[in-house]
Amino acid sequence: MSVATRIDRRFAALQDEGRAGLVTFVTAGDPDPDTSLAILKALPKAGADVIEIGMPFSDPMADGPAIQASGRRALLAGQTMRRTLSMVRAFREGDDETPIVLMGYYNPIYSYGTETFLVDAKAAGVDGLIVVDLPPEADDELCLPALAHGLNFIRLATPTTDEKRLPRVLLNTSGFVYYVSITGITGTRAPDTTAVTAAVARIKRHTRLPVAVGFGVKTPEQAAAIAAGADAVVVGSALVEEVRGSLDAAGRATDRTVDAVAGLVRRLAAGVRAGRTVAA
Protein backbone atom coordinates (compact mmCIF):
# COMPACT_ATOMS: atom_id res chain seq x y z
CA MET A 1 0.00 0.00 0.00
CA SER A 2 1.53 3.31 -1.11
CA VAL A 3 -0.64 5.64 1.02
CA ALA A 4 -0.12 5.67 4.78
CA THR A 5 -3.21 4.62 6.71
CA ARG A 6 -4.33 5.63 10.19
CA ILE A 7 -2.76 2.39 11.41
CA ASP A 8 0.58 3.23 9.79
CA ARG A 9 0.51 6.73 11.25
CA ARG A 10 -0.40 5.53 14.73
CA PHE A 11 2.42 2.99 14.90
CA ALA A 12 4.87 5.57 13.55
CA ALA A 13 3.77 7.94 16.33
CA LEU A 14 4.20 5.20 18.92
CA GLN A 15 7.71 4.53 17.69
CA ASP A 16 8.49 8.25 17.94
CA GLU A 17 7.19 8.19 21.52
CA GLY A 18 9.35 5.17 22.28
CA ARG A 19 6.56 3.04 23.68
CA ALA A 20 4.30 0.14 22.85
CA GLY A 21 0.65 0.65 21.98
CA LEU A 22 -2.54 -0.73 23.47
CA VAL A 23 -4.97 -2.41 21.08
CA THR A 24 -8.40 -2.96 22.61
CA PHE A 25 -11.02 -5.40 21.35
CA VAL A 26 -14.75 -4.99 21.96
CA THR A 27 -17.66 -6.72 20.26
CA ALA A 28 -19.96 -4.52 18.20
CA GLY A 29 -23.41 -4.29 19.75
CA ASP A 30 -22.46 -5.78 23.14
CA PRO A 31 -24.53 -5.57 25.29
CA ASP A 32 -26.74 -3.33 23.14
CA PRO A 33 -26.07 -0.87 20.28
CA ASP A 34 -26.21 2.34 22.30
CA THR A 35 -23.99 1.10 25.13
CA SER A 36 -21.59 -0.43 22.64
CA LEU A 37 -21.15 2.92 20.90
CA ALA A 38 -20.64 4.65 24.24
CA ILE A 39 -17.91 2.12 25.11
CA LEU A 40 -16.28 2.63 21.72
CA LYS A 41 -16.18 6.41 22.19
CA ALA A 42 -14.67 6.01 25.67
CA LEU A 43 -11.75 3.80 24.60
CA PRO A 44 -9.35 6.40 23.13
CA LYS A 45 -9.71 8.74 26.12
CA ALA A 46 -8.97 5.78 28.41
CA GLY A 47 -5.73 5.01 26.57
CA ALA A 48 -6.54 2.76 23.60
CA ASP A 49 -4.21 3.42 20.67
CA VAL A 50 -5.94 1.11 18.18
CA ILE A 51 -9.44 -0.35 18.43
CA GLU A 52 -10.50 -3.74 17.15
CA ILE A 53 -14.25 -4.22 16.78
CA GLY A 54 -15.55 -7.75 16.68
CA MET A 55 -18.11 -8.52 13.99
CA PRO A 56 -20.63 -10.81 15.77
CA PHE A 57 -21.01 -14.22 14.18
CA SER A 58 -22.99 -17.28 15.23
CA ASP A 59 -20.09 -19.75 14.82
CA PRO A 60 -16.94 -18.07 16.22
CA MET A 61 -14.62 -21.06 16.14
CA ALA A 62 -11.43 -19.27 17.28
CA ASP A 63 -13.01 -17.39 20.16
CA GLY A 64 -13.05 -18.41 23.79
CA PRO A 65 -16.10 -18.42 26.05
CA ALA A 66 -15.98 -14.72 26.95
CA ILE A 67 -15.95 -13.43 23.38
CA GLN A 68 -18.43 -16.06 22.24
CA ALA A 69 -20.81 -14.86 24.95
CA SER A 70 -20.33 -11.24 23.93
CA GLY A 71 -21.20 -12.14 20.34
CA ARG A 72 -24.37 -13.89 21.49
CA ARG A 73 -25.39 -10.86 23.52
CA ALA A 74 -24.84 -8.62 20.51
CA LEU A 75 -26.77 -10.84 18.11
CA LEU A 76 -29.66 -11.13 20.56
CA ALA A 77 -29.68 -7.33 20.80
CA GLY A 78 -30.10 -7.14 17.02
CA GLN A 79 -26.57 -6.33 15.91
CA THR A 80 -25.97 -6.66 12.17
CA MET A 81 -23.11 -5.78 9.86
CA ARG A 82 -24.95 -2.63 8.78
CA ARG A 83 -25.28 -1.59 12.41
CA THR A 84 -21.60 -2.29 12.97
CA LEU A 85 -20.63 -0.02 10.08
CA SER A 86 -23.07 2.61 11.32
CA MET A 87 -21.36 2.45 14.71
CA VAL A 88 -18.01 3.14 13.06
CA ARG A 89 -19.52 6.11 11.19
CA ALA A 90 -20.91 7.50 14.44
CA PHE A 91 -17.51 7.07 16.12
CA ARG A 92 -15.81 8.90 13.26
CA GLU A 93 -18.01 11.96 13.81
CA GLY A 94 -15.95 12.69 16.92
CA ASP A 95 -12.65 10.89 16.24
CA ASP A 96 -10.87 10.94 12.91
CA GLU A 97 -7.52 9.68 14.22
CA THR A 98 -7.92 6.45 16.20
CA PRO A 99 -7.48 3.43 13.90
CA ILE A 100 -10.42 1.04 13.67
CA VAL A 101 -9.96 -2.62 12.70
CA LEU A 102 -12.88 -4.97 12.13
CA MET A 103 -12.11 -8.48 13.34
CA GLY A 104 -14.01 -11.69 12.81
CA TYR A 105 -14.98 -14.26 10.22
CA TYR A 106 -15.59 -14.21 6.50
CA ASN A 107 -19.17 -15.44 6.49
CA PRO A 108 -20.79 -12.12 7.55
CA ILE A 109 -18.69 -10.26 4.97
CA TYR A 110 -19.54 -12.75 2.22
CA SER A 111 -23.22 -12.56 3.13
CA TYR A 112 -23.10 -8.76 2.98
CA GLY A 113 -21.38 -8.91 -0.41
CA THR A 114 -17.62 -8.61 -0.44
CA GLU A 115 -17.29 -5.65 -2.79
CA THR A 116 -20.17 -3.78 -1.20
CA PHE A 117 -18.72 -4.44 2.23
CA LEU A 118 -15.30 -3.08 1.27
CA VAL A 119 -16.82 0.08 -0.21
CA ASP A 120 -19.09 0.63 2.79
CA ALA A 121 -16.37 -0.18 5.35
CA LYS A 122 -13.95 2.29 3.80
CA ALA A 123 -16.64 4.97 3.61
CA ALA A 124 -17.59 4.37 7.25
CA GLY A 125 -14.02 4.95 8.41
CA VAL A 126 -12.71 1.42 8.87
CA ASP A 127 -8.93 1.16 8.51
CA GLY A 128 -8.19 -2.55 8.53
CA LEU A 129 -9.50 -6.09 8.66
CA ILE A 130 -8.57 -9.22 10.58
CA VAL A 131 -10.42 -12.21 9.17
CA VAL A 132 -9.29 -15.28 11.04
CA ASP A 133 -10.68 -18.01 8.79
CA LEU A 134 -9.17 -16.90 5.46
CA PRO A 135 -5.68 -18.38 4.92
CA PRO A 136 -3.09 -16.73 2.68
CA GLU A 137 -4.01 -19.17 -0.09
CA ALA A 138 -7.35 -17.34 -0.32
CA ASP A 139 -5.88 -13.83 -0.65
CA ASP A 140 -7.78 -13.25 -3.90
CA GLU A 141 -11.03 -13.65 -1.99
CA LEU A 142 -10.72 -10.67 0.35
CA CYS A 143 -7.15 -9.67 1.20
CA LEU A 144 -6.11 -8.29 -2.19
CA PRO A 145 -9.46 -6.55 -2.83
CA ALA A 146 -9.23 -4.98 0.64
CA LEU A 147 -5.75 -3.67 -0.09
CA ALA A 148 -7.03 -2.25 -3.38
CA HIS A 149 -9.66 -0.32 -1.42
CA GLY A 150 -7.03 1.15 0.90
CA LEU A 151 -7.75 -1.12 3.86
CA ASN A 152 -4.96 -2.81 5.77
CA PHE A 153 -5.25 -6.59 5.91
CA ILE A 154 -3.76 -7.83 9.15
CA ARG A 155 -2.68 -11.44 9.34
CA LEU A 156 -2.27 -13.68 12.37
CA ALA A 157 0.95 -15.51 13.15
CA THR A 158 0.95 -18.20 15.83
CA PRO A 159 3.44 -20.30 17.82
CA THR A 160 3.04 -22.99 15.14
CA THR A 161 3.84 -20.66 12.21
CA ASP A 162 7.27 -21.99 11.30
CA GLU A 163 10.06 -20.47 9.21
CA LYS A 164 8.72 -22.04 6.04
CA ARG A 165 5.16 -20.80 6.56
CA LEU A 166 5.90 -17.34 7.95
CA PRO A 167 6.94 -15.62 4.67
CA ARG A 168 3.68 -16.77 3.05
CA VAL A 169 1.69 -15.42 5.98
CA LEU A 170 3.48 -12.08 5.77
CA LEU A 171 3.34 -11.70 1.99
CA ASN A 172 0.27 -9.44 1.74
CA THR A 173 0.00 -8.45 5.40
CA SER A 174 -0.11 -4.72 6.10
CA GLY A 175 -0.65 -2.39 9.03
CA PHE A 176 0.75 -4.75 11.64
CA VAL A 177 1.22 -8.44 12.36
CA TYR A 178 -0.98 -9.92 15.07
CA TYR A 179 0.98 -12.54 16.98
CA VAL A 180 -1.24 -15.03 18.79
CA SER A 181 0.71 -15.71 21.96
CA ILE A 182 -0.89 -19.06 22.79
CA THR A 183 -2.24 -22.01 20.86
CA GLY A 184 -5.97 -22.60 21.08
CA ILE A 185 -8.88 -20.22 21.59
CA THR A 186 -8.88 -16.68 22.95
CA GLY A 187 -8.74 -15.77 26.59
CA THR A 188 -8.14 -19.22 28.07
CA ARG A 189 -4.47 -19.16 29.16
CA ALA A 190 -1.81 -16.61 30.05
CA PRO A 191 1.07 -16.04 27.62
CA ASP A 192 4.66 -17.03 28.33
CA THR A 193 6.42 -13.68 28.05
CA THR A 194 9.86 -15.17 27.42
CA ALA A 195 8.55 -17.25 24.53
CA VAL A 196 6.57 -14.28 23.20
CA THR A 197 9.61 -12.01 23.16
CA ALA A 198 11.58 -14.63 21.23
CA ALA A 199 8.71 -15.13 18.78
CA VAL A 200 8.37 -11.39 18.14
CA ALA A 201 12.09 -11.14 17.45
CA ARG A 202 11.82 -14.04 15.00
CA ILE A 203 8.91 -12.39 13.15
CA LYS A 204 10.82 -9.11 12.97
CA ARG A 205 13.61 -10.86 11.12
CA HIS A 206 11.11 -11.36 8.31
CA THR A 207 9.21 -8.06 8.26
CA ARG A 208 9.47 -4.37 9.11
CA LEU A 209 5.83 -4.27 10.18
CA PRO A 210 4.96 -3.67 13.84
CA VAL A 211 4.07 -6.78 15.81
CA ALA A 212 1.11 -6.71 18.21
CA VAL A 213 0.69 -9.54 20.70
CA GLY A 214 -2.66 -10.79 21.95
CA PHE A 215 -4.64 -13.77 23.30
CA GLY A 216 -4.48 -14.23 27.06
CA VAL A 217 -3.43 -10.75 28.24
CA LYS A 218 -5.73 -9.74 31.09
CA THR A 219 -3.84 -7.66 33.65
CA PRO A 220 -1.71 -4.49 33.63
CA GLU A 221 1.24 -6.57 34.81
CA GLN A 222 0.91 -8.97 31.89
CA ALA A 223 0.50 -6.02 29.52
CA ALA A 224 3.69 -4.43 30.82
CA ALA A 225 5.62 -7.68 30.42
CA ILE A 226 4.43 -8.18 26.84
CA ALA A 227 5.04 -4.51 25.97
CA ALA A 228 8.70 -4.98 26.86
CA GLY A 229 9.15 -7.07 23.71
CA ALA A 230 6.38 -6.05 21.31
CA ASP A 231 5.14 -3.01 19.44
CA ALA A 232 1.63 -3.35 20.86
CA VAL A 233 -0.42 -5.40 23.30
CA VAL A 234 -3.91 -6.62 22.37
CA VAL A 235 -6.56 -7.15 25.04
CA GLY A 236 -10.03 -8.51 24.29
CA SER A 237 -11.46 -11.19 26.55
CA ALA A 238 -10.75 -9.21 29.71
CA LEU A 239 -12.67 -6.22 28.34
CA VAL A 240 -15.74 -8.17 27.27
CA GLU A 241 -15.68 -9.81 30.70
CA GLU A 242 -15.88 -6.33 32.20
CA VAL A 243 -19.00 -5.78 30.13
CA ARG A 244 -20.53 -9.04 31.33
CA GLY A 245 -19.70 -8.34 34.96
CA SER A 246 -21.39 -4.95 34.84
CA LEU A 247 -24.76 -6.18 33.56
CA ASP A 248 -27.85 -6.53 35.70
CA ALA A 249 -29.62 -9.81 36.43
CA ALA A 250 -31.52 -9.56 33.13
CA GLY A 251 -28.32 -9.06 31.15
CA ARG A 252 -28.89 -5.37 30.51
CA ALA A 253 -26.36 -2.57 30.68
CA THR A 254 -26.12 -0.57 33.90
CA ASP A 255 -24.65 2.81 34.73
CA ARG A 256 -21.42 0.94 35.56
CA THR A 257 -20.93 -0.69 32.16
CA VAL A 258 -19.03 1.97 30.24
CA ASP A 259 -16.98 3.02 33.26
CA ALA A 260 -16.03 -0.59 34.02
CA VAL A 261 -14.54 -1.07 30.57
CA ALA A 262 -12.88 2.34 30.47
CA GLY A 263 -11.41 1.78 33.93
CA LEU A 264 -9.73 -1.46 32.90
CA VAL A 265 -8.41 0.18 29.72
CA ARG A 266 -6.84 2.95 31.80
CA ARG A 267 -5.10 0.40 34.00
CA LEU A 268 -3.93 -1.62 31.01
CA ALA A 269 -2.68 1.51 29.24
CA ALA A 270 -0.64 2.39 32.32
CA GLY A 271 0.83 -1.11 32.27
CA VAL A 272 1.70 -0.89 28.58
CA ARG A 273 3.33 2.49 29.09
CA ALA A 274 5.43 0.98 31.88
CA GLY A 275 6.85 -1.56 29.45
CA ARG A 276 9.79 -1.05 27.12
CA THR A 277 9.36 -1.13 23.37
CA VAL A 278 11.94 -3.05 21.38
CA ALA A 279 13.19 -0.87 18.53
CA ALA A 280 11.77 -1.82 15.17
Which residues are identified as catalytic? 52, 63
Cα dist from 168 to 36, 69, 104, 155, 209, whole Å: 36, 33, 21, 10, 15
Cα–Cα distances in angstroms (integers) from residue 279 to residues 7, 67, 222, in the given order:
18, 32, 20
In order of 85, 135, 179, 191, the CA distances from 209 in angstroms are 27, 19, 12, 22
CA atoms within 13 A on the CB side of 238: 23
Number of H helices, E strands in the chain: 12, 9
Query: Rounded distance, CA 277 to CA 160, Å?
Result: 24
| Coil vs helix vs strand at 150 | coil
Gap between the Cα atoms of 10 and 22, Å rounded: 11
Rounded CA separation 155/176 (Å): 8
128-131: strand order across its sheet: 152-153, 128-131, 100-104, 50-54, 21-27, 232-235, 211-214, 177-180, 156-157
Q: How many CB atoms lie within 10 A of CB 257?
A: 24
